[in-house]
């Protein structure tokens, strides 16, 4: 299915640019052209069709639906909703306040916020095209499990006591409205096919403009690793499964602010060059979900105690995920 992109890269790099196959520059540029062309085409097609489906999604109705659910069901549904909505760190405050204002418990809100940057249609598309459906399914399950477990833990320790004052007030008012049977209007309206097409077109262009740079950056870094890192270097230094490589990968990922679109091609190159799957997965999740910009934004609605707990929770979860996958994945692959 994807052979056409490899053939295109071969034609452009080796025939038109006259680079020599099997050289470092030739291999790196071939990797870059093949992955960028494949990702760009698939992004445009998939985002459009996903946007068509999302055009009928009423976020307000989903929010109100979550507000009335049992906690366990709420964690799962919040994580599922996070997986199908491409919110990034810049959206964290309005989304957070929208959920708390509806009276949704903090744990369900955090299950959504933790899962959303980890899993979206772009990340799933990249994982399927670069690493296969088996790894993609594993990534989705693990990402949702981290969101669900994180939300449940924050509810268990009553994390809402460390919300900023205005956010805590909004949560109390929303919960009081639920008790009184008051629900804000959701404003649902039917969209015609032409309006859905217009929405999908705008959504496709908006998301593409937002992620194209990260695709170029991520694939560029991956191409550099693929073409210029000596064969076997990563496998010999980091690929023997030393326990310390996973927490180091998690810590290294924190300042490398990116989204899943940018980091997944890097992860592909690391795995190809011999980095264990668990270590690569921990690095990817840390880079995507534990970024300085997002925590700076969340500081506006959380006190420092809750931010520190959230940070330690995510770092611990990603480290455990990395260790488990380094042990289990070789046995089932």
- Within a domain: residue 6? no
Q: Is 254 helix (H, G, I), strand (E, B) or coil?
A: coil
In this predicted structure, what is the pLDDT of residue 158?
92
In this predicted structure, what is the pLDDT of residue 314?
87
- Within a domain: residue 140? yes
78-82-88-89 Cα dihedral, nearest 10 degrees = 20
CA distances from 313 to 141, 243, 317 (A): 18, 19, 6
Question: What residues contact 327, with CB distance under 8 A and at least 6 apart?
Answer: 278
146 neighbors 114 (Cβ within 8 angstroms):
yes
- Within a domain: residue 156? yes
Alpha helices in 55-86 (DSSP H): 59-67, 71-84
Distance CA 316, CA 324 (A): 12
Distance CA 297, CA 282 (A): 23
In this predicted structure, what is the pLDDT of residue 291?
64
26 neighbors 19 (Cβ within 8 angstroms):
yes
Exposed/middle/buried for 122, CB within 10 Å: 0-12, 13-18, 19+? buried
DSSP, res 163? B
Q: Is 239 helix (H, G, I), strand (E, B) or coil?
A: coil
In this predicted structure, what is the pLDDT of residue 256?
62
Placement of tokens 């091609």 in the chain:
265
4 neighbors 34 (Cβ within 8 angstroms):
no
Placement of tokens 């599922």 in the chain:
80
Question: What residues contact 67, with CB distance under 8 A and at least 6 apart?
Answer: 102, 103, 104, 174, 178
In this predicted structure, what is the pLDDT of residue 145?
92
In this predicted structure, what is the pLDDT of residue 235?
59
In this predicted structure, what is the pLDDT of residue 212?
81
- Within a domain: residue 249? yes
Alpha helices in the chain (DSSP H): 3-10, 24-54, 59-67, 71-84, 92-101, 106-118, 121-131, 133-156, 165-180, 193-228, 233-238, 245-253, 260-272, 277-289, 292-298, 304-332
Query: Domain count of the chain?
Result: 1
Q: Whose CA is closest to 56, among 194, 185, 196?
A: 196
107 neighbors 71 (Cβ within 8 angstroms):
yes
In this predicted structure, what is the pLDDT of residue 278?
86
- Within a domain: residue 69? yes
224-227-233-235 Cα dihedral, nearest 10 degrees = 90
In this predicted structure, what is the pLDDT of residue 292?
65
Pull the structure tokens for residue 231.
């064969």
Beta partners for residue 302, in sequence order:
163
In this predicted structure, what is the pLDDT of residue 155?
92
- Within a domain: residue 272? yes
In this predicted structure, what is the pLDDT of residue 178?
59
In this predicted structure, what is the pLDDT of residue 186?
45
In this predicted structure, what is the pLDDT of residue 188?
43
In this predicted structure, what is the pLDDT of residue 236?
65
- Within a domain: residue 84? yes
In this predicted structure, what is the pLDDT of residue 153?
94
Q: Kindly give the confidence (pLDDT) of every residue in the chain, 333 residues in length, as a single tens digit, with 9 standing for 90 and above.
A: 568 888 999 999 999 998 988 788 888 898 889 888 887 887 788 778 767 766 665 655 665 666 566 778 889 988 888 887 655 554 556 667 777 777 788 898 899 888 887 786 667 776 787 777 887 888 888 889 989 999 999 999 999 999 988 888 878 887 776 565 545 444 445 677 888 888 888 878 887 887 688 778 767 877 776 677 665 665 566 666 678 888 988 887 776 656 666 677 777 777 887 788 888 888 888 877 776 656 766 777 889 999 899 889 889 988 988 898 888 777 766
The range of the structural domain enclosing residue 185 comes to: 55-190+229-332
In this predicted structure, what is the pLDDT of residue 187?
44
* Distance between first and last Cα of the chain: 22
In this predicted structure, what is the pLDDT of residue 10?
92
33 neighbors 8 (Cβ within 8 angstroms):
yes
- Within a domain: residue 252? yes
């Amino acid at each position: 299915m994807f052979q056409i992109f490899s053939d295109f890269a071969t034609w452009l790099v080796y025939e038109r640019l006259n680079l020599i196959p099997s050289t470092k520059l030739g291999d790196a540029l071939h990797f870059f052209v093949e992955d960028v062309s494949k990702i760009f085409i698939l992004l445009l097609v998939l985002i459009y069709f996903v946007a068509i489906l999302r055009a009928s999604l009423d976020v307000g109705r989903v929010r109100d639906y979550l507000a009335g659910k049992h906690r366990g069901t709420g964690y799962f549904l919040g994580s599922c909703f996070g997986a199908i909505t491409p919110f990034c760190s810049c959206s964290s405050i309005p989304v957070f306040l929208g959920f708390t204002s509806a009276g949704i418990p903090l744990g369900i809100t955090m299950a959504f916020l933790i899962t959303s940057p980890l899993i979206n249609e772009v990340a799933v598309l990249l994982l399927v095209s670069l690493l296969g459906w088996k790894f993609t399914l594993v990534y989705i399950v693990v990402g949702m499990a981290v969101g669900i477990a994180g939300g449940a833990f924050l509810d268990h320790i009553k994390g809402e006591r460390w919300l900023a004052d205005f956010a805590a007030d909004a949560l109390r008012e929303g919960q009081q409205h639920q008790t009184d049977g008051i629900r804000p209007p959701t404003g649902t309206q039917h969209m015609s096919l032409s309006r859905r097409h217009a929405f999908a077109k705008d959504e496709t262009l908006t998301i593409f403009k937002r992620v194209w740079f990260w695709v170029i950056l991520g694939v560029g870094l991956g191409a550099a690793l693929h073409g210029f890192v000596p064969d076997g270097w990563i496998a010999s230094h980091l690929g023997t499964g030393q326990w310390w490589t996973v927490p180091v990968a998690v810590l290294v990922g924190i300042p490398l602010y990116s989204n899943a679109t940018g980091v997944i091609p890097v992860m592909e190159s690391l795995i190809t060059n011999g980095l264990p799957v668990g270590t690569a997965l921990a690095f990817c999740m840390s880079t995507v979900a534990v970024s300085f910009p997002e925590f700076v934004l969340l500081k506006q609605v959380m006190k420092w105690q809750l931010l520190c707990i959230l940070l330690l929770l995510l770092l611990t979860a990603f480290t455990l995920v990395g260790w488990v996958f380094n042990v289990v994945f070789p046995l089932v692959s």
